[in-house]
Structure 1
Amino acid sequence: MKLLFVADPLEAFNIKKDSTFAMMREAARRGHQLYACEPRDLRWQQGAKVSARVRHVELTGDPARWFREIEIDPPEAAAGVLAATDAVVMRKDPPFDAEYFYATHLLQQAEREGARVFNKPAALRDHPEKLAILEFPQFIAPTLVTRDAAALKAFHAEHRDVILKPLDGMGGAGIFRVGADGMNLGSIVETLNQGGATTVMVQRYVPEIVKGDKRILVIDGVPVPYSLARIPQGSEIRGNLAAGGKGVAQPLSERDREIAEHIGPILAARGLLLVGLDVIGDSLTEINVTSPTCFQEITDQTGFDVARTFIDAVERALDRR
């Protein structure tokens, strides 16, 4: 089977933690052929199908130089048609900017031409990671999404301890906590809101963050039985691993399972084969669909092979075609 991974540059991977690498390693273990490209390599021209300048890669087992490129012969075959692969796995990290948006349209065109893309491009567009939680209000903490600075301040006055965040952030970037004293609230609102030009999300602070921001992976509608609790360190309020959080795997709680078993099948039916739910305490805070991570941390700490489960799901999805 030929698998094409649309991702960030391979040279930038941290293979000790990277979930895309874990997918590739499991696929290679099964004898599948690995190809890779970046979104910028995608192209379409009238009279032809969506293609990309691809790299045919082989894993080496050497952490210092973890892959080698296999020469594609003839060279023009390196401009691979996406519909000629068995599966395209979209793993480009956020931000979900205009270029990411355009890439999903090219991938959707490739679908029309016969490609199988995971996660489904239209579903990626329809589920922005901060806003997707609004569909499931029964699981979230009090939340407001608005451009109105006065409304943001009124929400703080009501709830006293809040988290403000931009809608396009990743890895915990741009997140602020404002306590009951309202210290710097005006400045933070001005920074995030930009005079009413930018929409902001504000949520009541969930104190259980000290026990971790739990990443729950859902594969083909079924939750992985362990979450990774990303625990803030020191004076930090953010549990994101990118912000220095400590990742601790733990079994799903009853509430975790309730959230995941409700949302998982709904999103799987829309073409989201892999989803990462973020839960603090009993509250859903984000639905990650672009490139959910934490595969290796969960597998290393629990023995549950997340990558194997994911590649199983890809193979099942292809069999259902």
Structure 2
Amino acid sequence: MTLLFVADPLESFKTHKDTTFAMMREAASRGHHVWACEPADLVWVRGARVVARRARAITLTGQAERWFEVAAEGELALADTRAVIMRKDPPFDSEYFYATHLLGQAEREGARVFNKPAALRDHPEKLAILEFPQFIGPTLVTRSAEAVRAFHAEHQDIILKPLDGMGGMGIFRVGPDGLNLGSIVETLNQDGAQSLMVQKYLPEIVHGDKRVLVIDGEPVPFCLARIPQGSEIRGNLAAGGKGVAQPLSPRDREIATALGPILAARGLLLVGLDVIGDSLTEINVTSPTCFQEITQQTGFDVAKRFIDALEARLK
């Protein structure tokens, strides 16, 4: 069957760790036809269907450098594919938002899109945790500098982060001395123009910010603990964190099994839950990663599980 991946430029993939590449490789190994385009390629004209104006059919070479060859290139109607897999990396900016609306129109025309475009819009990765307060630590979302100061006075050691950040970008820690709190708030909330998230610092971060993958409501049995290195407070791999795969803890599994069926029922085939200690900190739905790291370290084939789930949804 034909699968269209909507993703970042193929030339930018780091295939030794890229999750979308792992999905493509598994799909191709089963004989599926792999196509790719970028969100900027999506076009709709009245009286016609949503198309990828520059879609590329690719074959995988098995080489590290030139990892793909273009077998065909041209316009492809999304409804003519068996599935569209939305894998554009964050940030969830205006263009990403508009792309979900084009994908939603493609759904009305008969396309099957994963993750579901409406669910992508309804689950911003920082704010989606608000629905599940029983699993999160002390958290504040606000534009108010005064509210942030009050939260700091109560909890003493806090983390501040923008709502549209990714890869650990823009994350600050402020300890009991409150050093630079005012300046950090001004930077993040743009003098009250933008909301930010504030959370109590969780010392368990030294053991890793765990990425728990949930595929069609079922947790992958291993997570990737992204452990901060040196003086860094961020465990994100993009920020230099060390990824260590490990079995899910009872609390990890409790969170994943509670949220998994709810999110899957909303059209979220793949979700990445971020857990520090016993607390859920984010719900990643745009382009969850860590397939290859978990597979390489444990032998559990995450991409196989994902394509199994995708095929089951398409029956």
Q: TM-score, normalised by structure 2?
A: 0.99
Alignment counterpart, residue 92 of structure 1, candidates 75, 88, 92: 88
Is the aligned partner of 1:3 residue 2:3?
yes
Name the amino acid aligned to 2:251.
R
Q: For the residues of structure 2 that align with 1:203 and 1:253, how far apart are their CA atoms?
A: 22
How far apart, CA to CA, are the structure 2 residues paired with 1:218 and 1:292?
10
Pairwise CA distance, 1:273: 0.2
Cα deviation for residue 179 of structure 1 reads 0.3
Query: Counterpart amino acid of 2:313?
Result: A
Check if 1:194 corresponds to 2:190: yes
* 1:71 match: 72
For 1:184 and 1:102, locate their aligned partners in 2 and report how far apart those are by CA, in whole Å.
37
Paired residue for 2:181, among 173, 176, 185?
185
Find the partner of 1:229 among 219, 225, 231: 225
Provide the rounded CA distance (Å) in 2 between the counterparts of 1:199 and 1:71.
45
Q: 2: CA distance between counterparts of 1:279 and 1:88?
A: 29
Matches of 1:71 and 1:283, distance apart in 2? 47
Q: What residue identity is the alignment partner of 1:132?
A: A
Which whole-Å deviations, capped at 9, do the CAs of 1:258-281 have from their partners, x for residues lacking one? 000000100000000000000000
1:62 equivalent to 2:36? Answer no
Mapped to 2, the partners of 1:105 and 1:200 lie a distance apart of 25
Name 1:50's counterpart in structure 2.
50
Aligned to 2:77: 81
1:289-308 superposed Cα distances (whole Å, 9 cap, x missing partner):
00000000000000000000
The one of 252, 256, 260 equivalent to 1:260 is 256
Superposition CA RMSD, Å: 0.5
Give 1:193 deviation, angstroms: 1.1
* Mapping 1:149-168, distance limit 5 Å: 149-168=145-164
Deviation, 1:140, is 0.3
* Corresponding position: 1:285 with 2:276: no
CA-CA distance at 1:45 after TM superposition: 0.2
Q: Which residue of 2 aligns with 1:113?
A: 109
2:16 is matched with which residue? 16
Q: Distance in 2 between matches of 1:71 and 1:220?
A: 32
Report the alpha carbon displacement of residue 181 of structure 1 after superposing the two structures with TM.
0.6
Counterpart of 2:128 in structure 1 is 132
Structure 1: gaps spanning 5 or more residues: 73-77
Amino acid at match of 1:290: T
5 Å-filtered alignment, 1:215-254, equals 215-254=211-250
Match of 1:144 in 2: 140
Q: Give the C-alpha shift of residue 71 in structure 1.
A: 2.8
Match of 2:165? 169
- Aligned positions, number: 314
Cα distance in 2 for partners of 1:119, 1:247 equals: 25
Structure 2 match to 1:75: none
CA–CA separation in structure 1 for the residues paired with 2:274 and 2:37: 28
CA distance in 2, matches of 1:311, 1:69: 22
Query: Following TM superposition, by how much is the alpha carbon of 1:231 offset from its aligned partner in structure 2, in angstroms?
Result: 0.1
- Secondary structure class of the residue paired with 2:149: helix
- Cα distance in 2 between the residues matched to 1:138 and 1:103: 33
2: CA distance between counterparts of 1:180 and 1:141?
A: 18
Unmatched runs of 5 consecutive residues or more in structure 2: none
User: What code does the residue aligned with 2:289 have?
Assistant: T
Partner-residue secondary structure (3-state), 1:54: strand
